[in-house]
């Protein structure tokens, strides 16, 4: 379903706009943003994203069950009493929920690692909300988008920081890089997987990234 990618892109665009509003707004708008803290905004974005994505996945699972149980189809032989209900749950778990659960745990891992490194090096790397932005970008990039995202972070961070140091300007502030890189990672996921399709290695047994891509996006 292509609109799931559109949803994540819209959420990231909203977060990017909020970053600029929180930093550069003035007057009454600034007073509103000062009262409503940015980390609170990000917390609500996390909740909204998680609820909507997993609600959609649950709905897809329901539609899959209805499709299989329809009269005259062979899908009914994949459901009770012909198969254990575990088969259906494992199917939708891998096809629908698995990639997003994997992205969620990747976001937690990235967040913990970033906090650890920040504490170890006396808060030199990230502002507090930057870690939340990176974690959100990791989750919304999805699987396998978060691999593109992390690769982009490392590549862009190293190259731009090295260039910044050559100009003797100290450490490059990456505050406004995290969300655009996540947006770019999603775009890369859409086009790159669409181009390679089944050329990717298998994931979780016989399940391939090409299979997942065709199921979600329809091409």
Q: Tell me the mean pLDDT in the region 94-103.
A: 92
Tokens 């391939």 belong to: 208
- Among 79, 161, 96, 97, CA closest to 124: 161
Q: Which has more confidence, 68 or 192?
A: 68
Tokens 């399940």 belong to: 207
CA atoms within 13 A on the CB side of 218: 5
Q: What span, in angstroms and rounded, lies between the C-alpha atoms of 100 and 94?
A: 10
Beta bridge partners of 13: none
Q: Tell me the mean pLDDT in the region 210-214.
A: 47
Rounded to the nearest 10 degrees, the angle between the axes of helix 145-166 and helix 128-141 is 140
Rounded to the nearest 10 degrees, the angle between the axes of helix 27-35 and helix 2-24 is 110
Q: Look at 96-110, 140-154, 170-184, 201-215 and tell me which has the smallest mean pLDDT.
A: 201-215
Peptide bond into 109 cis (omega under 30): no
Q: What span, in angstroms and rounded, lies between the C-alpha atoms of 134 and 117?
A: 14
Element (H, E) at 3: helix 2-24
Q: For position 145, what pLDDT does the model report?
A: 93
pTM here is 0.81
């Amino acid at each position: 379903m292509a609109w799931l990618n559109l949803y994540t892109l819209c959420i990231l665009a909203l977060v990017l706009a909020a970053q600029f509003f929180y930093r550069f707004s003035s007057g009454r708008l600034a007073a509103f943003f000062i009262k409503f803290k940015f980390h609170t905004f990000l917390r609500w974005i996390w909740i909204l994203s998680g609820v909507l994505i997993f609600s959609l996945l649950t709905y897809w699972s329901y539609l899959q069950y209805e499709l299989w149980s329809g009269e005259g189809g062979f899908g009914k032989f994949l459901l009770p009493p012909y198969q254990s209900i575990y088969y259906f749950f494992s199917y939708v778990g891998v096809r629908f929920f698995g990639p997003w659960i994997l992205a969620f745990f990747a976001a937690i891992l990235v967040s913990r690692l970033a906090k650890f490194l920040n504490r170890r090096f006396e808060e030199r790397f990230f502002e507090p909300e930057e870690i939340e932005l990176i974690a959100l970008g990791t989750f919304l990039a999805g699987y396998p988008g978060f691999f593109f995202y992390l690769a982009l972070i490392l590549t862009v961070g190293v190259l731009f920081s090295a260039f910044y140091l050559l100009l003797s300007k100290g450490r490059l502030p990456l505050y406004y890089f995290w969300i655009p890189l996540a947006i770019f990672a999603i775009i890369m996921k859409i086009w790159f997987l669409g181009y390679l399709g089944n050329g990717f290695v298998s994931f979780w047994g016989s399940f391939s990234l090409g299979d997942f891509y065709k199921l979600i996006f329809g091409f």
